[in-house]
Amino acid sequence: MTNKKLQEKYEDIYKEGKEEFFSRFVNGKDISETNEGVWKCIDWSNKKVIDVGCGSGETAAGIAMLGANLVLGVDYSENAIKVANERHSIENLKFKVGSIKTIISSTSELFDVVISLGTLEHMDDPKMELREMLRILDKNGKAVFNMPIFY
């Protein structure tokens, strides 16, 4: 499936309600252990963070509440960002619609932490997109990625 087709699929998923699609939700609650692991892996205090492929923003919102200076959640699904903005109103948390090509490649801004959870396996050119994510990482920064074991 191309990235364009996948983007269309995710637009529908978030429009119809992601809790019905993703298996990690039970009765509307995210039961995944991923967020807990991410939230515990770094001292988020005073960090500038970008979450690439943030979906509806649960991970980013948790990081914002753990003391990051700024968390920028980026997703190419307009519907995901709409849900993220409806669910999370935190002063140090912002969301933008866009892809690596439209947002990351056009910035010279550096981040203390780059996060991308469950996204690399969906990218048309993961090597190039990973390179772009690491380009905006401060030289002393950290990157947090996860993906299915088959990848």
Domains in the chain, CATH or no CATH each: 3-146 (3.40.50.150)
Tens-digit pLDDT profile for the chain (151 aa)?
566 677 777 677 767 776 555 545 556 555 566 778 888 999 999 999 999 999 889 999 999 999 999 999 999 899 989 999 999 999 999 999 988 778 777 778 899 999 998 888 777 788 888 999 999 999 999 999 987 665 5
Q: What is the pLDDT at residue 29?
A: 58
DSSP state of 122: G
Q: How far apart are CA 24 and CA 107, in angstroms?
A: 33
pTM score: 0.81
| Rounded (5°) CA angle 151-37-54 | 65
